[in-house]
Amino acid sequence: MKEKLKNQKLLVLGIVFMILFNFPILSIVNHDTKIKGIPTLYFYVFTIWILFIGIIYWSVRNEEQEINKDE
């Protein structure tokens, strides 16, 4: 049951981040402005990418700790 819940969480995360990397959202941040010398689009993509990796790591790690507790 917990494995199914973990898979569902990862699926929802994947869908959310696919939406964040899709055209309408990317066009919102595609300006000629810069944040600390980095173009806004690059800053957005790399920030979302790092958040995606961190949230997946945190989610999978918490699920593994809960499974180990139950055993």
The whole domain housing 43 covers: 2-70
More confident residue, 5 or 11: 11
Domain tally for the chain? 1
Identify whether the C-beta of residue 59 lies closer than 8 Å to the C-beta of residue 6. yes
Distance between CA atoms of 47 and 31, rounded to whole angstroms?
16
User: What is the rounded average pLDDT of the residues 24-49?
Assistant: 94
pLDDT of residue 40: 95
Bridge partners, residue 34, by sequence: 39
